Amino acid sequence: MRRWILASCPLIAIFILSGYGFKSFTVEVPKQLKVKESILVSYPQEEAILANYQIAPPFLGSQFIGFKEALAFKESQGNYFVINTYGYLGKYQFGLGTLELVGVYDGNRFLKNPVLQEKVFQVNTSRNKWILRRDIKRYVGVRMNGIQVTESGILAAAHLAGPGNVKLYLRSHGRMEISDGYGTSISNYMKKFAGFDVSMIEAKRNPRI
């Protein structure tokens, strides 16, 4: 009798469970969330993919924020933590000599600190604007090498080649062309970064962090 009960227990359990049945549930996805075509994922997870992934720079208008972000994208694709093959650091690719001029003496600390990098960019731009203040008044609106000189173009070129070299370029009316180690020239930056409103940057003599 006991054996019969033990043998029949699994059958009884199956019978009870089958009585409840199983209901299927369908979830309707809203039309706004349905994907009708394949899209490009903008954040690859694999480092190897990320290293080769190219995106367009953000369009942030013609104000100073647009100027600095466009310049940063050109310099490093906006990467705060990169060092190039010539040893230039961070989002805006500063050299150690320039950092020391504005009061930063620790390259490792600078590279790890995005807030400091933004401050250095603004302070150095103020410094360049002071050094080039007379040239900005004299040459803005003049055409050199087929490019109209603008204040933002001058400041971008100063970031690339230094304010002294930009003075040589302007005062030679474009004949003293200078390029960086990757072949990017002053006139290239003059053209690429023309027309931004950088009036919010105050020209300062020897500003420091």
pLDDT tens-place string over residues 101-147: 999 999 999 999 999 999 999 999 999 999 999 999 999 999 999 99
What pLDDT, in 10s, does the model give residues 175-186? 999 999 899 999
User: Is residue 53 assigned to a domain?
Assistant: no
Q: How confident is the model over 144-171, as a mean pLDDT?
A: 97
Rounded CA gap, 188 and 200, in Å?
24
- What percent of the chain is predicted at pLDDT more than 90? 69
pLDDT range class, residue 43, cuts 50, 70, 90: very low
User: Is residue 170 assigned to a domain?
Assistant: yes
User: Is residue 188 assigned to a domain?
Assistant: yes
User: Is residue 183 assigned to a domain?
Assistant: yes
User: Is residue 156 assigned to a domain?
Assistant: yes
How many domains is the chain partitioned into structurally? 1
User: Is residue 130 assigned to a domain?
Assistant: yes
pLDDT value at position 50?
39
User: Is residue 116 assigned to a domain?
Assistant: yes
User: Is residue 184 assigned to a domain?
Assistant: yes
Rounded CA gap, 79 and 81, in Å?
6
Q: Structural domain of residue 177, as residue ranges? A: 59-192
Cα torsion for 151, 79, 208, 60, to the nearest 10°? 40
